[in-house]
A and B are shown apart, each in its own frame.
Chain A
Amino acid sequence: MERNLTLIVLFAALIVVLGLVPAIPLGFGVPITMQSLGVMLAGAVLGSWRGALAVVLVQFLVALGLPVLAGGRGGLGIFVGPTAGFLIGWLPAAFVTGLVVERVRALPVAVAAGIGSVLGGIVVMYALGIAGFWLFKNAALQPGDTPMSLWAATLIMAPFIPGDLVKAVLAGLIARTIARYRPSALIARF
């Protein structure tokens, strides 16, 4: 019980600290931060429930007004803005990543964690992020306004996907390293 709490706490701290690492500018002008790598790792190492709780704790800190997101962002504003869906989407992202590592035991850790990160950290997170943005954008349309299509909303967020694919691969490799040198630490598979 206590160990569950401390693992959740420390992975929440890891997610925050990875957001403080300077962003790596990607070739086409979109900076990538390592923060979502932390979210993927929390799921892959801690498993679905504990991984999701580590994310909840970070979201909690954001709501408390602490500058824990990449670039020193934080506060309630993040939860009501057009990109709120991405922050909220971290929760199912970590959960799904953990679920894949837990359930698909036939695959090596690196592959399972990588696939889980793509499913959770990209497919699920972007689905929520884009849906949130789309709903926000199309709220209270006036007569004569043209609603934005889901396709257009997806297109606007698409430049960030390559960076997250890189992070999914990294999450798989790091999970493999942890599983190799400290098998008992990968409690998602324990």
Chain B
Amino acid sequence: MLSLALARRSWAHRLPASVKFAVLAVLMVALMRIGSLPGQIAGLALALGLTLSLGIGAARIAARALRPVLWIVAVILVWHLWADEARQGLAFGLRVVTMVGLANFVTLTTPLPEIIALIEWLAQPLARFGLAPRLPALAVGLVLRFIPELRARHAAMAEAWRARSARRPGAKIVAPLAFSLLDDADHLAEALRARGGIAPPPAAKT
């Protein structure tokens, strides 16, 4: 499973992840307060300029990442055109594309290990509640390890189903998949315990 981050390094890859996330948060708050069309267009120009600075190939990936929100933009545009309020529909569309575009820019230019490091840093205060700061990274690593595993198993079960039945497997194989997953959970828990468990290491003696 690949991250959506670009493999090729760009100028934006060199910025620290924390800076990019902070600037993104400020921009999101600002964009929710700008209502005028010129302000929205300036925001869109910023998102477009940033994305294009990564190159044409990256811009194409960014455009594809916008697709999931386009249906709702289309619905709202039709709604406002029907009510003869084109300006409002346009403002909504511009805001959606700008905000999602800027957020995707950060995703495209921040490699996975950097975000995990940022999260470990943010999770440090959790140590006070007895949670190891490395727990989030461990959990992420384990999920990424098991997604292809479960996916392959689901495919095998679907194939076995199709060999027996002319109908689609649908949700019928979710229960057997869940059973196999519950076994995995037991085995994995044992393996983790055998390797010292997940409790935070005891505080070093001074």
Residues of A in contact with B (beta carbons under 8 Å apart): 1-3, 5-14, 16-18, 20-21, 24, 34, 37, 41, 45, 57, 60-61, 63-68, 71, 73-83, 133, 136-137, 139-142, 145-146, 152, 156, 170, 174, 177-178, 181-182, 185
Contact = CB atoms under 8 A, between A and B. Distances in A.
Given A34-B171, A140-B34, A178 B112 contact: no
Interface of B: 1-5, 24, 28, 32-36, 65-66, 68-69, 72, 75-76, 79, 83, 85, 87-88, 91-92, 95-96, 99-104, 106-108, 110, 112, 115-116, 119, 135-136, 138-140, 142-144, 146-147, 149-151, 154, 170-171, 174-175, 177-179, 181-182, 184-186, 188-190, 192-193, 197-199
12 contacts: A2-B188, A3-B189, A21-B154, A57-B140, A64-B116, A64-B140, A66-B1, A77-B99, A82-B92, A136-B32, A139-B32, A156-B76
Contact of A10 (B34, B103, B181): B181
Select the residue from A6, A45, A71, A136 with max chain B CB neighbours within 10 A. A6
Contacts of A78: 68
A137 B85 CA distance: 14
Contact of A76 (B24, B33, B36, B150): B24
B168 to A, nearest CB: 8
Contacts of A21: 154
B50 to A, nearest CB: 13
Contacts of A61: 140, 143-144
Given A141-B35, A185-B178, 7 more contacts: A2-B190, A13-B150, A13-B181, A61-B140, A73-B65, A80-B103, A145-B85
A39 to B, nearest CB: 13
Nearest to B68: A73
Nearest to B142: A9
A3 B112 contact: no
Given A13-B147, A77-B104, A178 B178 contact: yes
A19 B199 CA distance: 32
Contacts of B144: 61, 66
A152 B107 CA distance: 32
Given A17-B151, A64-B112, A140-B35, A177 B198 contact: no
A8 B179 contact: no
A173 to B, nearest CB: 8
B185 A18 contact: no
Contacts of B147: 13, 16-17, 68
Contacts of B106: 76
Nearest to A79: B103
B181 A11 contact: yes
Given A5-B198, A64-B115, A76 B151 contact: no
B154 A65 contact: no
Nearest to A74: B4
A41 B179 contact: no
